[in-house]
Amino acid sequence: MYRIRTYNSISVKGLNRFPREDYEVAGELPHPDAFLIRSQKLHDMEFPDTLKAVGRAGAGVNNVPLDRCSEEGIVVFNAPGANANAVKELVLAGMLLGSRDIYEGMKFVESLEPQDGLDPLLEKEKKRFAGTELIGKTLGVVGLGNIGSLVANMGLALGMKVIGYDPAISVEAAWRLSSDVEKMDNLSSLFSRADYISLHLPVLDATRALVSDGLLANVNPGLVLLNFARGEIVDNAAVMRALQEDRLHRYVSDFPANDTLRHPGMLQMPHIGASTGEAEENCAIMVADQLMDFLEHGNISNSVNFPNISLPRATPVRVTITNRNVPKVLNQITAIIADHDINIVDMLNKSRAEIAYNIIDLEACPSEDSLEALRSIEEVINVRVIGSCNHS
């Protein structure tokens, strides 16, 4: 029986992927093989010895201590692209909220009591809520991955000019992007040319407080900045100064903070970029399937800290081994298996940064001795037997 401990509200469609005859799935489960999470912060949590994987039903993994997971041999998965459309659609709403005074206009209507002469009052007051159109304006997209590429293409469809910046764009993302998106060589050029800027990059050491006084110093009047990426990417104090000094027209953000609450010029939402039934379902299903393939077969897809690796089962007995990515470990592994007279039918070894991962299909169950020998190789982090042998 595999045990999946869930945190946050995970779509039932995803939870139902786990066959109940083989999986226990619950919030307070002891000895879990895997965690299935959304925004649950794991940095301060000590991981149970049984934990083999963390499935993040979403894109951002800044709530997971990736280095510690790698050191402990825990595979972290996410769901790339599964919530991208939901975010893109909310960015569209954010752009409209930033260009038309919808929010203040609606608040004004909400404040009215039923009265004679309502129509003339509305007609008189509406000039206070006039705005501008998106068509013909320049949209700058920072980060052109799963979400940014959709936002950029949407901007073109709305009749905007679109400029983009992404120093590490993937080949797949580049294929998805219209050739009409103009590539910027640096952020300063993008900030000085755009009327709307939408952020779609991860929070990393290199991107923390990236949007600063410096970038906001030389911008177009009326600029609308949209942040559906992460609060930490933006220096809130710099944004408040830019709003105060009319360098920025609106800051539309999915990440309110104590110092930004009720701040004039800010339109803030409670981190709902991915909160649609469709996105929650897509993310949960994708991550549940990845966790099952990993737990039952040792295959890894869409990991953010391990290599992606998949090997069709050649035998019922599979051993997976995680080791630090240094020379001569593979030799030791195969020598130990050979010394114990077990035939390797198929195997695959891949590495990513400091981690190497091996899938080895054996003709027969490995003995306890052989497993002990494998586990005692200095650079080996973990050894797992998948199949009906009498040990784990």
Binding site for ligand NAI (CB under 6 A): 58-60, 80, 83-84, 87, 142-148, 165-170, 173, 200-202, 206-207, 228-230, 254, 271, 273-274
Torsion of CA 257, 194, 179, 100, to 10 degrees: 70
Smallest distance from ligand AKG to CB 23, Å: 21
Task: Report the distance separating Cα 383 and Cα 192, nearest Å.
Answer: 53
Is residue 349 at the binding interface for ligand AKG, with CB under 6 A as the rule?
no
The listed partner (ligand AKG, ligand NAI, none) that binds 84, CB under 5 to 8 Å by sort, is: ligand NAI
CB 271 within 8 A of CB 87: no
Q: Specify the DSSP element, H or E, that contains 15.
A: helix 12-15
Of 323, 315, 298, 295, residue with least CA distance to 366: 315
Of 283, 261, 248, residue with least CA distance to 60: 283
Give the x/- contact pattern for ligand AKG in 83-112, rule: CB under 6 A. Answer: x-----------------------------
The listed partner (ligand NAI, ligand AKG, none) that binds 88, CB under 5 to 8 Å by sort, is: none
Smallest distance from ligand AKG to CB 325, Å: 28
CB 356 within 8 A of CB 325: yes
Q: How many other β-carbons are positioned within 10 Å of the β-carbon of residue 294? A: 25
Of 180, 173, 115, residue with least CA distance to 147: 173
Structure tokens at 45: 């949590």
The listed partner (ligand AKG, ligand NAI, none) that binds 38, CB under 5 to 8 Å by sort, is: ligand AKG
CB 51 within 8 A of CB 244: no
Q: Based on CB atoms, which residue is closest to ligand AKG, 11 or 99?
A: 11
The listed partner (ligand NAI, ligand AKG, none) that binds 351, CB under 5 to 8 Å by sort, is: none
Residues 242-301 that bind ligand AKG (CB under 6 A): 274-275
Q: Based on CB atoms, which residue is closest to ligand NAI, 150 or 342?
A: 150
The listed partner (ligand AKG, ligand NAI, none) that binds 4, CB under 5 to 8 Å by sort, is: none
Smallest distance from ligand AKG to CB 326, Å: 33
Task: Report the distance separating Cα 294 and Cα 73, nearest Å.
Answer: 13
Residues 23-82 that bind ligand AKG (CB under 6 A): 38-39, 58-60
Chain residues in the site for ligand AKG (CB under 6 A): 38-39, 58-60, 83, 274-275
